Structure 1
Amino acid sequence: MKGKRVLSLILVVMLIMLSMVGCKKNETFTSDQDAEGGADGKVTIKYWVPFASNQYIQSLNESEMYKELEERTGVHVKFIHPAEGEEMEQFNLMLNSKELPDVIQTYAGQYKGGMDKAIEDGVYLRLNELIDQHAPNFKKLLEEDPELARQTMTDKGNIYAFPLVGIDPDEPAWWGPVFRGDWLEELDLEIPNTIDEWYNVLTQFKEKKNAKAPLVFSSRGIDPYGTIISAFNIGPGFYKKDNVVKYGPMEPEFKEYLATMNKWYNEDLIDKDFPTRDSNGRATLITSGDAGAYISEYAVVDQYQAAIAATDPNAKFIAAIQPSLKAGEKVNYRVVNERNGGYEAVITSSCKNPEAVVKWFDYAYSQEGFMLFNYGIEGKSYNMVDGEPQFTDLLTNNPDGLDFWTVCNKYKLEVGPYLRDYKAVPGFTDIDLDCMEQWTKAGTDHVIPPVNFTPEESETYSDIMGDVATFKDEMVLKFIVGEVPLSEFDNYVEQLKALEIEKVIDIYQEALNRYNNRKTN
């Protein structure tokens, strides 16, 4: 307790007795100077974090999981949630007021000038030494995975936050192409693997199934995760080859991609209204039976399957690998689940007991913390069945008729700084598993890791990329629909250069070099 100078003999005896019977629940976390400065001997953390409330849980202060965590650790958390839609404004107001909570999550990375400057300014704490001394579970994760360590530090070597960490360094891809499997079977067609095979299948869908949109296409003309463009050995935006940064939409191969998409568009193999069709319109095409192929995430494939089965019980969606130009070639760009999954929580300089807060965060990366954060409380939100955790009806068949995502944050944590199991959701369907298997066959060699820009680089990037993105998006659509002939491609590239795209490529290159040179031990 605050103001206490000497532990009483009685307390010493009590602690020894507790340790003898194995009850160490609060021993690591209690302190005679807590994070908030309370007078009850219990550590209290003021924790600022955005939260999307719903009819089931209004605040993480109502979380049964965090109440259980308090019982285990002796740490009480007072969550502060900014108003939804005003997070950035309230974050800036909080910084300007100098009245900081102990912890800031998710928006902490918006500090002007970046994390190193926040540490230099004395606003956020450097955590390297604190983690080394008080976070053995988190420290072990960093030691075992140098890439995670690189993703968790700045270019100056500062570890600045506790992030969401995926338990699987090779978490499967969640985005990729899907085809009408029942149509393929009916037409005696194999699942297509190359661009030419895609062309043949889409043509058959148009001619023999009267598909209004054989392929449902991104409104920007480029899939953001490179699903088709990766076949041409480039990325959809900035990418790397042998650690040399390039910009896909200005490479010579991009002209080949545009020529292919223009051909498919002219032959009605792509949704004719793709530039103006929104997500609801694309979903309607798919679930009404007017589409033969699309690109999406596996959770949405489940929803589409359920919706189309209501009117066509024979309809069946199946996953395909990302196409290549030639049979057997491996593409090298796809969606990547970085092991540092974000949702980073920093400890501020206002925290009076950072050692206790670091220990509290570290629990979320332990085996016990892993089960609590991912599955909740055994006997309430999950039970062990044949050695595996299974959610109870409270989450999967809620008595109030609410879905899993509405109720989950009351009993576990959907996302945040902990060791996360991507499988900690109601059981994956066969479609989900097939999607993961097929989509993960693509490589990631061309994907740039999560690099950091300096404040000056960030300013230059913002000044340039707004105009570049606007021009590029406009021209891509014009090339695909034929408003501008591909004979103008070289002029398009020269205009990108005039807009100083090469400066941004250089910025990415410098940032990638710094990232690769980070010392992880």
Structure 2
Amino acid sequence: MVKTWKKLPVLMIAASLAAAGCSSGGEAGKDGGATAGGDAAKSADPVTLSIFGVANSTIISKPFQDDEIITELQKRTGVKLDFTPDLNVTDRAEKLAVMLAGKDLPDIVVFNALTDRAKVNSAKVAMPLDELVEKFGPDIKKNAGKALEISKMMNSDETRSLYYLPGHVGNVQFSPNVNDNSWNLRWDLYKKLNFPKLDTLDDLLNVLEKMGELEPTNKDGKKNYGLGLNLSDAWGQLMIDKAIANLQGFAQASSNDVYVDMSTGLPVPRVSDPNSIFWKSAQFYNKAYQRGILDPESATMKFNTITDKYKTGRYFASTTYWSLGGADKQFIADGHPEKGFVPFMVDYNKQNIYVGQATYNGDQFEMFISKTSKNPEAAMKFINYLFSDEGARLMMNGIEGKHYKMVNGVPMVTDEELNARQSDPKHYIQTGIGKYNNLLRYTPQKDPNGYPANFNDVPETQAKLLTQVQKEFMEHYKQKTVTEHFTKVPKYVFDTSLLGSLSTVPGSDIQAKEQQLDAYLVANIAKVIYQKNDADYEKAKAKFLEEYTSKGAAAVFNYYKDKYIDLTTKVGKPK
């Protein structure tokens, strides 16, 4: 059985991560990252670097941030980050496309390789990094050496240069308190229904329908729904099968038409196979639509709207904890600690489930220095700090003495910090802890001193972080942690870093086919889901598959299948 620890997500897609002690001494001097800023950190005037893609644009309202993490990061590295490229961005993929087309890029760019790798590769805007890493990246080489080799092997050109630095290297996302890869349901309403069975997806629809009868509107009088989708985002289609495929043991972290079947370790078609889990999931949402359980605005919604609806109590279920956007904290702040979400296993595989994501060699949020950067050396020194143990500790946990203290050799989040997090859903904007999730490059499971790298996962702190709802859930099911039930499945963690490293060759016929397939999927999947009866759904599905497969789906799938098998032969299968 895999035993893992994970960061506690804080209000976004995401998450949180590891960090360092005070800059005035103590632990900070123990690891190589302490001087990663080099001479720049000692100079009177900081180096200004522009950056894009590291935080949710809804919380970036001015070019220069002044939260505690960013202030400390500047002090330690001598780098002042300019977030201007992220201002007023409603669709990050669209903004990236505009910047790529105009070759007008900031110094440092983070992008989602799942949706944007092809266009980034084709634009040829990333600077070769080998020499910079060799000169200024000792912590990158120490903590992400294998990840760099895989990146060069799978995402380079004829020069075999290093262009991209993956994020969250070394991480295993599995928290004792929440889950990002399974169904999360409103516990208070489930309890009122007297804990009905949730063995099948039809059971789930029945439960959501009954929850709607218990709470038809939110506190503002707006109609509630069982759940919603952000199908207006290019990546929104990935949410259709997220929990359903995960619980059946299928991992998706590469081409939109590729799963890896955990039972065999081999790629299988995701979209082009009419009998796949993806289509089982699409049918689930079609049933939800027919029964009035799916928010009818899902076809035109973006992610920010989804999280707002969770926080205002308008949805009862989510396929991941991070998409709740801090709903639990909002309920508590609104004076309703009895309301909240907990993770359930619905229609799950008894041997393999993908509820813990390992990214030992990095995730999809890849970083590059643009060719137009005016100070690539400063950019690399800054990035190296992010890959250091000290940098990881700072980004995940904050500042020693302010956000946590060492108690008998154990890092303990202060009671003041915990109370502030629980009483103010926007506290993270002030501290910066969890605010810059996509900036995180290195997120080890253990600190060099042996305790969990994310101090939220220290057992004493875990207990303090539990909400009333989580405590009730644990007591009802007699569990020691909220997610203990997942750990009873023999395999519940899967490393997606190899799958996520795959890409097509820029300008190739396969790349062109994949882009056509992706565009068709994003533009047309909602038309299938939003059919008013079963017969029309089947017709729409058949039409979709006929047109989708005609665009070269088999060739694209076989390309990724062969690349994955070849890669795992060279470096070994994922754990």
Q: Same fold (TM over 0.5)?
A: yes
Structure 2 residue identity aligned to 1:429 = L
228 and 389 in structure 1: CA distance in 2 versus 1, 3 angstrom threshold = same
* CA deviation profile, 1:356-412 (whole Å, cap 9, x unmatched): 7544432333333333333333234443345224257579639x9882232123998
Percent of matched pairs sharing the same residue: 14
The match for 2:171 is 168
The match for 1:366 is 388
Q: Is residue 240 from structure 1 mapped to residue 260 from structure 2 by the alignment?
A: yes
Structure 2 residue identity aligned to 1:388 = P
The match for 1:303 is 327
517 and 62 in structure 1: CA distance in 2 versus 1, 3 angstrom threshold = farther
Structure 2 residue identity aligned to 1:216 = G
Q: What is the SS of the residue equivalent to 2:351?
A: coil
- Distance in 1 of aligned mates of 2:190 and 2:429: 37
The match for 2:430 is 407
Kept in 2, the 8 Å contact 1:408–1:414? The answer is no
2:504 paired residue among 437, 453, 471: 453
368 and 57 in structure 1: CA distance in 2 versus 1, 3 angstrom threshold = farther
Give the deviation of 1:337 after TM superposition. Answer: 6.0
408 and 515 in structure 1: CA distance in 2 versus 1, 3 angstrom threshold = farther
Q: What is the SS of the residue equivalent to 1:257?
A: helix
The match for 1:466 is 519
Structure 2 residue identity aligned to 1:84 = L
- Distance in 2 of aligned mates of 1:348 and 1:287: 40
Matches within 5 A, 1:172-211: 172=175, 173-181=179-187, 189=195, 192=198, 194-195=199-200, 199-200=202-203, 203=206, 210=213
Kept in 2, the 8 Å contact 1:383–1:390? The answer is yes
2:226 paired residue among 208, 216, 226: 216
- Distance in 1 of aligned mates of 2:552 and 2:539: 22
Q: What is the SS of the residue equivalent to 2:516?
A: helix
318 and 69 in structure 1: CA distance in 2 versus 1, 3 angstrom threshold = closer
Q: What is the SS of the residue equivalent to 1:158?
A: coil
The match for 2:14 is none
Q: What is the SS of the residue equivalent to 1:484?
A: helix
Q: Is residue 250 from structure 1 mapped to residue 266 from structure 2 by the alignment?
A: no
Matches within 5 A, 1:477-488: 477-478=530-531, 481-484=533-536, 486=538
- Distance in 2 of aligned mates of 1:202 and 1:91: 42
283 and 365 in structure 1: CA distance in 2 versus 1, 3 angstrom threshold = closer
Give the deviation of 1:174 after TM superposition. Answer: 1.2
The match for 2:5 is none
- Distance in 2 of aligned mates of 1:361 and 1:201: 44
Structure 2 residue identity aligned to 1:477 = Y
* CA deviation profile, 1:269-327 (whole Å, cap 9, x unmatched): x5345444668699879976x98755441572862586499798766643212423xxx
Give the deviation of 1:166 after TM superposition. Answer: 4.9
Structure 2 residue identity aligned to 1:362 = N
381 and 481 in structure 1: CA distance in 2 versus 1, 3 angstrom threshold = same
The match for 1:9 is none
- Distance in 2 of aligned mates of 1:296 and 1:308: 20
- Distance in 2 of aligned mates of 1:388 and 1:299: 29
TM-score by length of 2: 0.61
The match for 1:228 is 244
Matches within 5 A, 1:425-440: 428-430=465-467, 436-438=483-485
Structure 1 residue identity aligned to 2:51 = V
Aligned length: 471
- Which structure would you say has the larger Rg? 1
- Distance in 2 of aligned mates of 1:413 and 1:450: 22
The match for 2:399 is 377
291 and 347 in structure 1: CA distance in 2 versus 1, 3 angstrom threshold = closer
The match for 1:330 is 351
Q: Tell me the C-alpha RMSD between the 2 structures.
A: 5.5
Q: What is the SS of the residue equivalent to 2:85?
A: coil
Structure 2 residue identity aligned to 1:323 = D
- Distance in 1 of aligned mates of 2:165 and 2:238: 34
TM-score by length of 1: 0.66
Greater relative CO (CA pairs within 8 A, separation 6+): 2
Return 5+ residue gaps in structure 1 as ranges: 1-20
- Distance in 1 of aligned mates of 2:38 and 2:250: 54
- Distance in 1 of aligned mates of 2:309 and 2:248: 30
